[in-house]
Amino acid sequence: MFNFFGELKKIAENKNFIETYNIVNMSGRILYVEGHTGVCHLSKQLITFKFKGGIITVIGEQMCLAELTDKTIKIVGKIKSVEET
């Protein structure tokens, strides 16, 4: 099976920057995340989650968690912004 992030890591010169989390935003409708360490806040307009080193804030409309595992999150809805703090 093809591993998108695995292939990127193989070609990256500095692998340290991709060891904490990975995010793919698909047309502002699906947000896929690898590497989270817990959900902090969950509402239809705001979702925040932790990663090693900080917090990611997702702002949007009609958002919900379509998938949640110990390391991955899939958010669906209208994704307006994603910010790291």
For 54-63, how does the pLDDT look when each residue is reduced to its tens digit (9 = 90+)? Answer: 999 999 999 9
> Measured between alpha carbons, how far is 79 from 85 in angstroms, rounded to an integer?
18
Domain range enclosing 70: 21-84
pLDDT above 70 (res 17): no
pLDDT above 90 (res 1): no
- For the stretch 35-54, pLDDT in tens is 999 999 999 999 999 998 89
Give me the pLDDT at residue 15, please: 57
Q: Looking at the 3D structure of the chain, how many domains does it have?
A: 1
CATH number of the domain that residue 47 is part of: 2.60.40.2000
Query: Does a structural domain hold residue 15?
Result: no
Give me the pLDDT at residue 14, please: 60
- Residue where the block lists tokens 């990975």: 22
Query: Does a structural domain hold residue 14?
Result: no
Query: Does a structural domain hold residue 49?
Result: yes
- Where does residue 62 fall: left (phi above 0), alpha (psi -120 to 50 degrees), or beta otherwise? left
